[in-house]
Chain A
Amino acid sequence: MSAAPRPWHASAENIALPVLALAGALLLFGLFVWLGGHSPVEAWTLLFKGAFGDAFSWQNSLQRAAPLMLTALAVALPARAGLVVIGGEGALVVGALACASVPYVFAPPANAFGSALLMLAAAIGGGLWVVLAGALRQWRGVNETISSLLLGYIAIALFKHIVEGPLRDPASLNKPSTKPLAEGLRIGPIMGADGFDSWLGDVHWGLVIGLVLCLLAGLWLSFTAHGMALRVVGGNAKAARLVGLPSTRLILVACAAGGGCAGLAGGIEVAAVQTSANASVIAGLGYTGILVAFVARQNPWAIPPVALLFGGFGAAGSLLQRRMDLPDASVLVLQGFAFVLILASEALRGKLFQRPPLPRLRRVPKPPTAAPVAASTVVPLPTRGADETPAPLVSAGGKA
């Protein structure tokens, strides 16, 4: 008899499957550049050099990982409640706009408190944007994946309209922008203004915010009753209804928290990187966040390392472009391969640490009457229980 999967199987697979999928994606990427007449070994070397080769590339990778952590939370938190929301890009853009427009409404104190107010505005903006998708699903039955993506396009159009119209700083000639934030409102580097030579260089506080929020989100989901209720709603909506959980409220809270994180990412991009809202904020960080969340299997604690990896690949993109003359979209291709393989790897779940194959058929003992054993008494072994376990997060198309 094939034994039920032992507990370590499940957790080992949670790590082994994504690692295998990423390795496969890198292999496929090597094949891809090789077909284009480039050296795959050089591509792999440059990918890791550009991502983690020296202090400068580490700083670049960390810099890029910060917003990815937050946009990944925007996918992961609603996913734990059973929703496939991919509106991180829209929430990020709304957050950036909200952050940059606060000084137009009133003059916030130019200190840390003022920065916090700006970040709050960004988080509220992003949160409301994703809540909209969740609410439309709960109250109107609108598919949240489609609506969140549509909302993203609408957000980008609104952003461009407002940044190039009502809120445009007349001094921004070539690149329409809002007025730059006052010096005191910006988010600075962790090591301070003259920490440029330290190993963290000018990596800004957004990294810490991202790490802390991933940690908190994981604690919330794993160790609080509220978080557990959320996972029940996401895992089995029928069970949640039977025990009387307020599904709609929990789902909306998850959407608000996720959207708030993505909005915060937008605010941080404005306050720490761009110093004003302009088109550079729309850089596909929300889309890469989707991939990060899926590779991390929607687990907030797994998000930081995955975000660092993909931030690193993003950082290596320009090196690939410079040294090998590959198009800047090569990182997008790598991401696409990784996404496809991470989904395909789910099919291996429960099979990775299987014992050597057992005989599939077993003969039913002869009945005592010694009747001839017909072929129909050959019965297959029951399939292994692990094969039937639903994976609510990745197959999240199923809804109540």
Chain B
Amino acid sequence: MTTSDWMDLLLAILGGAIRVGTPFLFVSLGECLTEKSGRINLGLEGVLVFSAMAGFGGAYLSNSAWVGVLVAGACGALLALLHGLLCSLPRVSDIATGIALMLLGSGLAFYFGKPLIQPQAPQIPSLVLGAWSSSPQVQSALSINALFPLGVLLAGVMAWGFGNTRWGLVVRMAGDSSDAARALGYSVNGVRIAATTAGGFIAGLGGASLSLYYPGSWNEGLSSGQGLIAVALVIFARWSPWRCLGAALLFGGAGAIGPALQSIGVSGGYYLFNAVPYALTLAILIATCSPSRAVKGAPMELNVSR
């Protein structure tokens, strides 16, 4: 490969990091909010698939991508609300409920999504930031999903909100010490249901990004575990919204390696390159977790990282 080939590859991966990383960003922010309140929602994988389908359907029927985005968020919130309510019942574990939602979410998505596999829906617009360059590679790398800046903003708002607002403190208190929250008169279950639902809405935006921007269509293999990776990313990001952003970009880049190599003509090991994000997630979990202590920054009531 020549130097220019390498440059193209690098640019394709950088552009792909944002393109592929946007759903990771939203799902991990949603999971971050949920976990801060003391519950883990493994069902965000189901939420992602279901909201991707719903967003696509909404955009297709209303002929507006932004209506689709809202529908995706609302459907994600609805499914997450079910998780929140179920987990509030006595003796119902959040991990098991998450697995159930994973199955239910994809089942519902495949059921309703059957007629949506063929049609085209209006897409979320791109922000073209690369007009200054004459290179088509640079231009394509800097043509950014309009949801991405929204996600960055959201990460900032969440990071600030957790530290500086009443609601942020209440959510963190429910996650760190349910006794303290109860003593101050807050309903722990109520806070957690609210946080899970809001997290589902945010994750739903990631679903919209999948079906309405990249890859930009609906099919049954659309997510294939991206929601789960995002859940694992939150552990790696040690429950900080800003680090979720970094982790999402890193994983977007890893996911973009396969398509980027293909675009310059390397086609061997297609499946292996597609598996890179999963292997990377596992490697990062192995490096981050420890058998003897909880991961630094983990909400105390959470049992995912122990």
Q: CB of B108 within 8 A of chain A?
A: yes
- Name which residue of chain A comes closest to B224, CB basis: A153
CB contact list, B93-134 vs A, under 8 A:
93-101, 103-108, 110-111, 114
Q: CB of B143 within 8 A of chain A?
A: no
In the bound complex, do residue B111 and residue A391 qualify as a contact, i.e. CB atoms below 8 Å apart?
A: no
Q: CB of A340 within 8 A of chain B?
A: yes
In the bound complex, do residue B291 and residue A336 qualify as a contact, i.e. CB atoms below 8 Å apart?
A: no
Q: In the complex the two chains form, what is the Cα distance from A268 to B48 in whole Å? A: 33
In the bound complex, do residue B303 and residue A398 qualify as a contact, i.e. CB atoms below 8 Å apart?
A: yes
Q: CB of B153 within 8 A of chain A?
A: no
How far does the Cβ of B203 sit from chain A's closest Cβ, in whole Å?
16
How far does the Cβ of A16 sit from chain B's closest Cβ, in whole Å?
16
| Count of chain A residues near B, Cβ 8 A | 53
Interface of A (DSSP majority class): helix
Interface hit among A4-12, A60-68, A135-143, A301-309? A135-143
Given contacts A150-B225, A333-B111, contact A340 B271 (CB under 8 A): no
Q: In the complex the two chains form, what is the Cα distance from A84 to B106 in whole Å? A: 20
In the bound complex, do residue B278 and residue A157 qualify as a contact, i.e. CB atoms below 8 Å apart?
A: yes
**Which residues of chain B come closer than 8 Å to A153, judged between CB atoms?**
224-225, 275, 278
Q: What mask results when residues 123 to 150 of chain A are scored 1 for a CB within 8 Å of chain B, else 0?
A: 0000000000000101111110111011
**Which residues of chain B come closer than 8 Å to A395, judged between CB atoms?**
91-93, 96
Given contacts A150-B232, A157-B271, A396-B96, contact A391 B91 (CB under 8 A): yes
Q: CB of B191 within 8 A of chain A?
A: no
In the bound complex, do residue A136 and residue B286 qualify as a contact, i.e. CB atoms below 8 Å apart?
A: yes
Q: What mask results when residues 342 to 368 of chain A are scored 1 for a CB within 8 Å of chain B, else 0?
A: 111011010000000000000000000
- Name which residue of chain B comes closest to A349, CB basis: B91
Q: CB of A294 within 8 A of chain B?
A: yes
Contact of A347 among B90, B224, B229, B304 (CB under 8 A): B90
Q: What mask results when residues 315 to 343 of chain A are scored 1 for a CB within 8 Å of chain B, else 0?
A: 00000000000011110111111011011
In the bound complex, do residue B305 and residue A141 qualify as a contact, i.e. CB atoms below 8 Å apart?
A: yes
**Which residues of chain A come closer than 8 Å to B224, judged between CB atoms?**
153
Task: Kindly count the residue-residue contacts between A and B in the assembled complex, taking CB atoms under 8 Å apart.
Answer: 162
In the bound complex, do residue A336 and residue B278 qualify as a contact, i.e. CB atoms below 8 Å apart?
A: no
CB contact list, B66-111 vs A, under 8 A:
82, 86, 89-101, 103-108, 110-111
In the bound complex, do residue B93 and residue A143 qualify as a contact, i.e. CB atoms below 8 Å apart?
A: no
**Which residues of chain B come closer than 8 Å to A47, judged between CB atoms?**
none
Q: In the complex the two chains form, what is the Cα distance from A344 to B269 in whole Å? A: 44
Q: CB of B137 within 8 A of chain A?
A: no
Q: In the complex the two chains form, what is the Cα distance from A395 to B92 in whole Å? A: 6
In the bound complex, do residue A343 and residue B97 qualify as a contact, i.e. CB atoms below 8 Å apart?
A: yes
In the bound complex, do residue B97 and residue A154 qualify as a contact, i.e. CB atoms below 8 Å apart?
A: no
Top 4 A-B pairs ranked by shortest CB distance? A336-B104, A332-B107, A157-B275, A329-B110
B residues engaging A (CB < 8 A)? 40, 42, 82, 86, 89-101, 103-108, 110-111, 114, 224-225, 228-229, 231-232, 235, 269-272, 274-275, 278-279, 281-282, 285-286, 289-292, 303-306
Listed by A's residue number, 14 A-B pairs whose Cβ atoms lie within 8 Å are: A84-B95, A139-B291, A140-B290, A146-B231, A154-B282, A157-B275, A327-B110, A328-B110, A333-B107, A333-B108, A339-B104, A340-B97, A344-B92, A387-B90
